[in-house]
Chain A
Amino acid sequence: MSAGALEGLRIVELGEMVSAPYCAKLFADFGADVVKVEPLGGDVARRWGPFPGDEPDPEKSGLHLFLNTSKRSVTLDLESQAGRDLFRKLIAGADALIENHPVLRMREWGFTYDALARINPGLVMISITPFGQDGPYSEWNGYDLNAYHLSGASSRYCGRPGESPLEHGAFSADFFGAAAAASWGLAAIYGRDNAGGGQHVDVSCAEAIAAAFVGGQNIGAYAQSGKFDKRTGVGMSLGAPATILPCKDGHVWILCLETAQWHGLAKTMGDPEWMQLDIFQDMFSRAQNADAMYPLIEMWTMEHGKMEIMERCQANGVPVSAVFTVGEAAEHPHLKERGYIVEQQHPAAGAIRNLGAPFKLPASPGGPQTPAPLLGQHTDEVLRELGLSSEEILQFRASRTIG
């Protein structure tokens, strides 16, 4: 194992499902020692799958295997006083806690920032929740879906008018919140001396999207004019072509805004006469006449395959891309050459493929170091590091404080 950029950082993860585990994975893949604390039954992600052959097995859940690389797993029953005491011992020696439990549950456990900071004043506590630690919705029950649709993103940007607004079909809000938490959280750790100590980093997934995605492009306009836009189901409404069209074997993203791009598209399509009409000579005018234009482009795309369309358009300087299936993305030679798809040997799941680090730090490389841990694989090891004797560990196991 090479020394990653975050080697020496000690992180406790009290996470389940997606957001906190993904954030902690970013730290773990770059060398931080991440101890994932799981209930005796394991992180819920272990039950969500997907599973090889659709046979449920908590050690073979794809979600778990993706999100928990390079970590150690400890099981603790936090419903017991003894379990919570052990958790506090872990916190005493940690640089950071990354967690995504409901505010009320953390309070019940006695794991508020103030309480934990009394044990460890340097602690950076990174909380990632749908709605955040304060504000009227902070005690609401919520998941990724609720956070995403509270952000304005779906109403504004995805779905057909009159039909329901859409999320991406992925845990978009959890990932966005986790990304914000990783950057802000690492800054709070790195700059602890500048900041004057540890602190609580409070991420609301809904708020991060409502601000940096939706707010950035819309809120100034709304505040000034009282007017706002909604999804069209088509694509960009200001410029065209900017939409997804069907083709012979799937779909393509047709984007062609600048004049040179439009000429490149015309060349690719064999210079049809209609493309020289005045109403199609700039992106704004094309957008106003999109209803007439899209069927004409579609007649052409339906005669060709998506990879061919992408290749020929790109060669002519047009930013058209194929809508890759997951498999087409996974098998693309580009990602192979970049070493993005990694092979791992997991004790229960066997040989598995996983996704690698999305950024390369040549002087301090990262990426999945070890496969996701078995449930409680490192419980004894970690408890011994806390100074517990073999006898004490046996007793905790007998009382079901640990698994």
Chain B
Amino acid sequence: MAKNLPLKGIRVANFGWVWAGPVTGQTLAFLGAEVFKIESKARVDLTRTLPPFGDGIPGPDRSLSNHACWAGNGSVTLNLKKPEAQQLARDLVAKCDVVVENFGPGVMEQLGCGYEVLKAVKPDIVMFSMPAAGLYGPLKGVRTYGLSLTSLTGLDSLTGYSDGPPVPVENAYSDPYNGILGAFPIIAALRHRDRTGEGQHIDYSQQEAIMHMVGPAFMDYAMNGRNAAPKGNRHPLGAAAPHGVFPCKGDDRWISIAVLTDEEWSALRNAMGNPAWAAANEYASAAGRVAAATAIHTELARWTAQHDDRELAGKLQQAGVAAAPVLNVGDLLNDPHYKARGTYIELTHPLGFVETIYGAYVKTSRTEVAVTPGPVMGRDNDHVFKTLLGMSPERYDELVAAQIIY
């Protein structure tokens, strides 16, 4: 069972939807907060409709990817188009420490739950908003999905084969990234609240957070006026070579090799059996290797292609070279490292089917995280409305019948 959770006692109303907002709720929940995601059958979240489903039976409570990405969150159903539902949401916020949302700017106001309103019902509330490009500025209304948001940071202009066109990353790295990082300013604001009694409204720009990944390339632009171009898997700052992904025996098998130091270069040469091509004097220094990276990569690929990826990684590691197999999705579940670390966990959903999701992806020596799968819609309605908000069973039934609790 869960033990020694650092955020025990913190309660969160999570208006987040799709991916990033729910992951912020998940992060806080894994760390011990009680998180209630607010959603509605009046507009079922897109991610609840994504296949595959548990046992192959479609249904909004059976999407396997939704259960993984929303794990840890609870669920309260409120049809926020109705004023009575908005009032209930505010009643819940009055009993919370934190509000999370990832709509566009202005949507929470339309739902009767803008910061000023929530501050009136809970003066020290920490409200966390994470729109694509922040709460204000010329691009505040920009429409993006997580997978294209990165284009507004310069990151996509760096992704691709050397000097070729940009190649898209086919899913939204920015969603789990921002979802997880979002917990940091929330906890910082909780600390400030504890010390001063003051709440606040956090303006988290997903664009700006991802642009930190571009920081090194930004500095080159700021200092030298240069715009970086795609460079494959080479070192992002051109500081080291060889540095790349090389083919191995079999279909679509690859190994990553990064040589950052002269010692590692010697180790690689030894592991290859000291071939003549690698003995060139100019390869003895990092600068020489970077200048000749294309030639070195070609020779190295010829050698790696004769080997099995895992065997070669093991052999190179023995020699002290930073090398690892390039895993595909099918490799992950049975990889000995991820198995040993309990990266993925199998559990039985309350609806009876078995599913595999990810567990606590950070290991904590004193805290034991208990992971529950993404919630059935309205899982916590009884508890929240009747116990936490003290609603009578009769009133509850009325609101359900009126599709306000819905």
- Give the Cβ gap from B286 to chain A, nearest Cβ, in Å: 9
B316 CB to nearest A CB, Å? 9
* Residue in contact with B142 in the complex, picked from A187, A225, A228, A314, CB distance below 8 Å: A314
Query: Are B31's CB and A184's CB within 8 A?
Result: yes
Interface contact A228-B152, CB-CB below 8 Å: no
Q: A228-B329, A363-B200 are in contact. Are A318 and B362 (CB under 8 A)?
A: no
A200:B365 contact, CB within 8 angstroms:
yes
The 0/1 profile, CB within 8 Å of A marked 1, for residues 244-286 of chain B is 1111000010101010100010000000000000000000000
| Chain A, residue nearest B217 (CB) | A326
Instruction: Tell me what chain A mostly uses at the interface: helix, strand, loop, or mixed.
Output: mixed
Identify which of residues 184-202 in chain B touch chain A, using a CB-to-CB cut-off of 8 Å: 184-185, 187-192, 196, 198-202
Given A166-B233, A169-B160, A235-B170, A326:B228 Cβ within 8 A: yes
Do residues B52 and A224 form an inter-chain contact, with CB atoms below 8 A? yes
CB of A208 within 8 A of CB of B362, answer: yes
Contact flag A213-B183 (CB < 8 Å), given A152-B328, A353-B222: no
Q: A217-B69, A338-B205 are in contact. Are A154 and B326 (CB under 8 A)?
A: yes
- Is B90 located at the chain interface by the 8 A CB criterion? no
Interfacial chain A residues near B237, Cβ < 8 Å: 48-50, 63
Q: Which of B133-185 contact A (CB under 8 A)?
A: 133-134, 136-145, 147-149, 151-161, 165-171, 173, 176-177, 179-185
Asked if A191 contacts B213 (CB within 8 A), the reply is no
B173 adjacent to A213 (CB under 8 Å): yes
The segment from B106-114, B333-341, B383-391 found at the interface with A is: B333-341
**In the complex, which of the residues B5, B158, B170, B205 contacts A169, with contact meaning CB atoms closer than 8 Å?**
B158
Chain B residue contacts of A222, Cβ below 8 A: 329-330, 332-333, 356
Residue of A nearest to B193 (CB): A363
Residue-wise, chain A 92-121 has the 8 Å CB interface mask toward B (1 for contact) of: 000000000000000000000100000000
B residues in contact with A325, CB < 8 Å: 154, 157, 227
Which residues of A are found within 8 Å of B54, using beta-carbon distances?
224
One of B34-42, B60-68, B79-87, B392-400 contacting the partner: B60-68
Query: Are B137 and A337 in touch, CB under 8 angstroms?
Result: yes
B182 CB to nearest A CB, Å: 8
CB distance A244 to B6 under 8 Å? no
Does A305 interact with chain B (Cβ within 8 Å)?
no
Q: Are B143 and A317 in contact (CB under 8 A)?
A: yes
Give the docked Cα–Cα distance between A361 and B128 (Å).
10
Considering only CB atoms and an 8 Å cut-off, how many residues of chain B contact the other chain?
151
Q: Does B357 contact A (CB under 8 A)?
A: yes
Chain B residue nearest in CB terms to A245: B165
CB of A333 within 8 Å of the partner chain: yes
Residue contact B161 to A65, C-beta cutoff 8 Å: no
Q: Is the Cβ of B208 less than 8 Å from the Cβ of A340?
A: yes
Whether the Cβ atoms of B180 and A160 lie closer than 8 Å is no
**Distance to closest chain A CB from B185 (angstroms):** 4
In the complex, residue of chain B having the shortest beta-carbon distance to the beta carbon of A22: B212
Q: Are B328 and A156 in contact (CB under 8 A)?
A: yes
Most A CB contacts (10 A, CB to CB) among B6, B9, B64, B209 go to: B6
Instruction: Report the contact-size class of chain A (Cβ under 8 Å from the partner).
Output: 35 or more
Contact B201 A362 (CB under 8 A): yes
Task: Please tell me if the beta carbons of B326 and A165 are within 8 angstroms of each other in the complex.
Answer: yes
Segment among A75-83, A132-140, A289-297 that sits at the interface with chain B? A132-140
Tell me if A363 and B156 are in contact (CB < 8 A): no
Interface contact A145-B258, CB-CB below 8 Å: yes
Contact: A253 with B168, CB < 8 Å? yes
Mask for B346-360, Cβ within 8 A of A = 1, else 0?
A: 100000000111110
**A282 located at the interface, meaning its Cβ lies under 8 Å from any Cβ of chain B in the complex:** no
- Please report the C-alpha to C-alpha distance between residue A26 and residue B169 in the assembled complex, in whole angstroms: 26
Residues of chain A within 8 A of B331, CB atoms compared: 152
Residues of B within 8 A of A142 (CB): 258, 322, 324
- 15 A-B pairs whose Cβ atoms sit less than 8 Å apart in the complex: A48-B239, A50-B237, A136-B337, A149-B327, A168-B158, A168-B173, A171-B213, A183-B184, A194-B8, A213-B173, A236-B171, A327-B227, A362-B201, A363-B189, A363-B199
Q: Which 9 A-B pairs have the closest CB atoms?
A: A191-B6, A62-B219, A220-B64, A169-B158, A223-B356, A358-B208, A211-B358, A211-B361, A199-B366
